Amino acid sequence: MYINGQWQQASSGKSFDVFNPADGDRIGSVPDGGREDAERAIAAASTAAPAWSARTAYERSAILRRAWELMLARADELARLMSTEQGKPVKAARFEVQYAADFLLWFAEEAKRLYGETIPSARADQRFLVAHQPVGVVAAITPWNYPVSMLTRKLAPALAAGCTVVLKPAESTPLCARAVFEILHEAGLPAGVANLVTAADPRPIGEVFTSHPAVRKITFTGSTAVGKALARDAAATMKRMSMELGGHAPFIVFPDADPEHAAKGAAGVKFLNTGQACISPNRMFVHRAILDAFVHTLAQRIGKLRAGLGLDPDVAIGPLNNEAALAKVARQVEDAVAKGAQLVCGGERLHLPGLEKGCFYAPTLLTGVTPDMQIYREETFGPVAAVIPFDDTDDILAMANDTDYGLAAYVYTRDIARAFRMFEGLRFGIIGINDINPTSAAAPFGGMKESGLGREGAREGIFEYLETKLGGFAV
C-alpha cells in the first residue's frame, strides 16, 4: 500500500493474491488492508491537506502534467499489465491508458482556471466575493472494469482542486492501481496527498470511509446497490457524494437511419470491454422496417469477434469478471429464450483450450426481446445484444425512458428535428446521436435517476471537489 509517501505492508501483515481472469494464473500479491490501514491513510491525508491546498494552482498543475508525461511514456507497459490483470484486449487497454492520461492533462489545466467572481450588491457600502476552496479529504472507491482511467478520473480533479485523497481500488485489479500510484510518486506528489489502501474485503474500508469525520467527500464508481449503501452510511456525517452507478442504455435506430452503419456502431459499443461497461447498450430498439438488415449486419460483426487472452492482438472478447457475472448473463439469456426470444448466435459459455478457468461467454445476439424478460429490465454487463423491434416512432421515447437508470442512450437517425427531440426528451445524462463514443476528459460524464450523482470530467468535474464560499464585505 502507499500511505504518507511510503510503500507499506498491511498492519496485519496479511496479503492476498491477484489472478489473471482469463486463465486463472497467479500474477502477484498485494497487502490485505483493514480498518487500521484506512485510518492511517486518512490521518496522512488530513495532515497533508493544509500544505497541499496552500500550494499554487501552477504547482499542482505541474505535478499532474508530469504524471501525464510518465503515463504516456509507460503506455505499453500499463496496457499489458491491464490486459493481464483485468482481461481486456491489449488494444482496448492502450486506448484506456490514453483516456486515463487525458484526465491528468485536462485537470492540470483546469487547476489554473478556478476563477472566483464578484456580485453586485443593492447596498453601496457592500461588496460580495465568491471563492472556491477544496472540500478536504476525499475517499475514492474505483471499479475493476476500467482499472486505470477510473482512478485518474477521480484523482486528477481532486488533486487539482487542492484536496487530498485516500483511494481503495477494486480487489481484483490492485496491481493497476499500484502502477498509477508509482507514477504519482515519481511525478513528485508530496507525502500524504494521495494514499492507496488495498483490501480483499472492501466492506471494512468502506465503513471507515463513510464514518470517519475527517473524510468530507466520497466518490464512487460501481453498482447502484453499493452506491445506495454508501450514501446511506455517509449521510450521518453529511459527506459530499459523487457517484457513477449502473446503466441500462437504450440504443434506438429509426427507420430513416442506415441500418448497416447503425449495426456496426451497435457492435462497437455493445462488445466494448466484453460488454462490461456502464454505458453499454442493453436494449436495442430497432424499427421493424430495417430490422432484418440491422440484425444481419450485427450478426456478421459478432461472428468476427474472437475470444481469448487479451495479450493476443487478434482477440476482441475477454473474460467476464467472475463466475457470478457469467451466471447472471447466462440466466438472462436462458430467461429470454424461454419467453420467446430468438437466439441468433452465441448463448453459451466458452470452454477454450487453455482458458478453462476463465469466465468466457460467447458474444450473443437475441431478437424478439419483450418487456417481460429479465434482460429488458436488468443491466447485463456482458456480451449480449438484445434487439427489440418497434413500429410506432411516437412511443419509442416512453419505451426508452422506462427504466430506473439514466446514464447513457444512443440514437441513430438522419432527421435533425428528431435528433433534437430525442436529445431533449431522453432522461439520460449522456446521449450519443449517431455516435457511439460520446465521452472525453473534456466532456461531463454522469447519469440521472439511479445512475448516479454529480459529473466527472469537464469543467464540472473539478467543482465536485470544491466548496463555494461567499464573502460579504462592508466598506
CA–CA separation, 475 vs 73, rounded Å?
Answer: 54
Sign of CA dihedral 55, 59, 65, 71: negative
Task: Work out the widest C-alpha separation in the chain, in whole angstroms.
Answer: 81
SS3 state at 416: helix
Going by C-alpha positions, the residue among 430, 470, 415 that lies closest to residue 131 is 470
Confirm if 279 and 407 have CB atoms less than 8 A apart: yes
SS3 state at 269: helix
Q: 53 — phi, psi (to 5°)?
A: -65, -25
Q: From the candidates 163, 278, 456, 464, give the one annotated as an active-site residue.
A: 278
Active site (annotated) includes residue 244: yes
Cell output for 74: 509507460
SS3 state at 320: coil
Confirm if 267 and 436 have CB atoms less than 8 A apart: no
- What number of other Cβ atoms are within 10 A of residue 342's Cβ? 13
Sequence length of the chain is 475
Going by C-alpha positions, the residue among 462, 469, 470, 475 that lies closest to residue 157 is 462
Q: H-helix or E-strand containing 224?
A: helix 224-234
Q: From the candidates 110, 244, 450, 456, give the one annotated as an active-site residue.
A: 244
Q: 139 — phi, psi (to 5°)?
A: -105, 125
Confirm if 279 and 408 have CB atoms less than 8 A apart: yes
Distances (CA, A) of 293 to 24, 259, 260, 297, 301: 40, 6, 7, 6, 12
Phi/psi-derived region of residue 354, left when phi > 0, alpha when psi is between -120 and 50, beta in every other case:
left
Specify which residues 30 forms β-bridges with: 16
Confirm if 66 and 182 have CB atoms less than 8 A apart: no
Confirm if 366 and 342 have CB atoms less than 8 A apart: yes
Confirm if 194 and 155 have CB atoms less than 8 A apart: yes
Burial 364-401 (b: 16+ CB within 10 A, else e): bbbbbbeeebebbbbbbbbbbbbbbbbeeeeebbebbe
- Residue with cell string 501552477: 58
Residues with active-site annotation: 244, 278
